[in-house]
Structure 1
Amino acid sequence: MASYAIGDIQGCFEPFQQLLRHIEFNPGRDTLWLTGDLVNRGPASLEVLRWVMRHDDCVQTVLGNHDLHLLAVSEGFGRVKSDDTLSAVLDASDGKLLLDWLRCQPLMVADQEFAMVHAGLMPDWTIGKALRLAEEVEGELAGPGFRRFMAQLYGNKPARWSDELRGMDRLRLVVNAMTRMRFINRDGELDLTFKGELDKAPASLTPWFDVPNRRSTALPIICGHWSALGLYLTDEILAIDTGCLWGGSLTALRLEDRQVFSLACVAERALVV
């Protein structure tokens, strides 16, 4: 019995299946932790969603920004981008079933040994506080106010956490941190402008996980989202988005011993017609 964490799939179904074969994943024996962004820009988002939902008993995923984008677009909110590849899901006969399942997935999970979130956590949050904040958002996503919530989700403000935040300002910042964050600026604000490599970042920006006195150090955090960061493993951070979509690789990390398994990917976006 083994537990594996796998980075952002983004509709790259065939590389995902190849990696599962490579690690000899057995659904009746092993478990998967998926860092979110199951869908979009790759050629087979529908197949990914169907597989993950079908194996819900042995797979734990969290929501990424592309997963939330799919939910927003399905409700008529958000701007459909030229490189989106979501139409197969939206047009599928089982599309509503898949979307209803997706919106009931968590923003963050944790057990006794690891926590997992798609992007990151604000420096002021402990693991416990972050889980409670994630539950606030999850209640909106799975509840009767889902459409109202999605209609107000998009936006980059507020950028600084305060316990005094309420309503959509509070919820939007939680979502942006957990699904979009890479850097914090000198004022302690979420910066969503720079998406590149660490050594090319402006001096005014600090990776969220390197902010001094970060309070979420009780558990190692598994995350994805940042393909330009690549595989980044420390005692505290297990970042495993290695850019399969862009012709990089898809990576699995065995959690029991932190052994890495990676398979090179063709540029999956080139397969989209």
Structure 2
Amino acid sequence: MTHRSSIWVIGDIQGCAQSLRHLLQQPALQDPNAHFIFVGDLVNRGPDSVGVLRQIQALGKRAQTVLGNHDLHLLGVAAGQRKCNRSDTLSSVLTAPDADALIHWLRHQPLALHHAGHLIIHAGLHPAWSLQTVLHLAHEVEQTLQSPHWQDHIAQLFGNQPSQWANDLEPIARQRYTVNALTRLRHFTAKGEIDHQYKGAPKAQLGLTPWFDMENRQIETPVIFGHWSTLGLYMRADVMGIDTGCLWGGQLTAVDLRTRQIVQVANQDGPLRPN
């Protein structure tokens, strides 16, 4: 990557391989030195999760991704610790001839990336966390996923508790909270707990606060995230939300970190219909 090369951050793909292919073919993304960072949820619900993983792997060192909740769910299923849901479309990965290699690659991806003065995560952050805290907590989870006995330990990362952060959480509880914040968080309740129920756009009357509007946020680094399709494209100086609902018939979005140029393509895979 040269000093002047573009750094494109790409929103949630969720198995929409044709949409990703179309986005990567756009003229603005054709710089041979361009670097691509994905905000997670590469897989699931869409029609071709294995195609998405293979496209990103084919980019080699030009591509990085953070893990989203659907990516972790795939790892849990592959480890035999979670069951597929009725709406899952993970079989293309699990039955692929290169399944072992794909799973190995996926579980070696980070939960947070600090790149070109930005923090890239899938979902959200606790307001008390500094940049160094985020990267340290993410690394703890990454060590669990990358350990030789990861299949035995990944189950401890799933679950809604604890719902509130404390500096003295036990290691397992700390990792679980880290996963829930970095891959599932949208709102906090009035008590400062992660809300796991409401997935819609912010509504003040619900008594919930978007994570990026919490008071006394410690992190000063601009944050780019996905996960929140009902929020849509959300651009301000300190945060950028780029999940624009490709899976649901919306658009797949790329943002250049250095210029904030936005490139979007319409869904090419056929929209998923809500149940």
Which TM-score applies when normalising by structure 1?
0.94
What amino acid maps onto 2:83 in structure 1? R
Partner in structure 2 of residue 223 of structure 1: 225
Query: What is the 5 A alignment of 1:245-256?
Result: 245-256=247-258
Task: Show the counterpart of 1:50.
Answer: 54
Is the counterpart of residue 146 in structure 1 residue 150 in structure 2?
yes
Distance 2:192 2:229 in 1: 23
The one of 2, 7, 11 equivalent to 2:6 is 2
CA displacement at 1:21 relative to structure 2: 1.0
The answer for the alignment partner of 1:212 in structure 2 is 215
Contact 2:6 2:31 in 1 (8 A): no
Equivalent position of 1:257 in the other structure: 259
The AA in structure 1 aligned to 2:175 is: L
- Residue equivalent to 1:11: 15
Q: Residues 42-61 of structure 1: CA distance to partner in whole angstroms, max 9, x if unpaired?
A: 11100111111222300110
The amino acid across from 1:119 in the alignment is A
Q: Please show how residues 105-124 of structure 1 align to structure 2 within 5 Å.
A: 105-124=109-128
Contact 1:63 1:107 in 2 (8 A): yes
Letter in 2 for 1:164: D
Give the C-alpha shift of residue 269 in structure 1. 4.6
> Residue in 1 aligned with 2:99?
95
Rounded to whole Å, the distance in 2 between the matches of 1:269 and 1:74 is 26
Paired residue type of 1:163 = N
For residue 111 of structure 1, report the CA deviation from its aligned partner.
Answer: 2.6
CA 1:256–1:183 in 2, change beyond 3 Å: closer, same or farther?
Answer: same
How far the C-alpha of 1:202 sits from its partner, in A, is: 4.4
1:158 matched to 2:167: no
2:253 is paired with a residue of what secondary structure? strand
**What secondary structure is seen at the aligned counterpart in 2 of 1:238?**
strand
Check 1:270–1:242 CA distance in 2 against 1; reply closer, same or farther (3 A cut).
closer
Say if 2:75 is the partner of 1:74.
no
Any unmatched runs of 5+ in structure 2? none
Deviation at 1:260, TM superposition (A): 1.1
Structure 1 unmatched runs, 5+: none
In the alignment of these two chains, the number of paired residues is: 269
Q: CA deviation at 1:118?
A: 0.2
Identity of aligned residues (%): 45
Q: Output the TM-score relative to the length of structure 2.
A: 0.94
User: Greater CA deviation, 143-152 or 50-59?
Assistant: 143-152
Matches within 5 A, 1:158-197: 158-197=162-201
| Structure 1 CA distance for aligned equivalents of residues 195 and 129 of structure 2 | 17
Q: CA deviation at 1:141?
A: 0.4
Question: Counterparts of 1:24 and 1:77 in 2: how far apart (Å)?
Answer: 42
Report the Cα distance in structure 2 between the residues aligned to 1:61 and 1:130, rounded to whole angstroms: 16
Code of the residue aligned with 1:212 in structure 2: it is: E
Conservation of the 8 A alpha-carbon contact between 1:254 and 1:260: yes
Residue 27 (structure 1) shift:
7.0
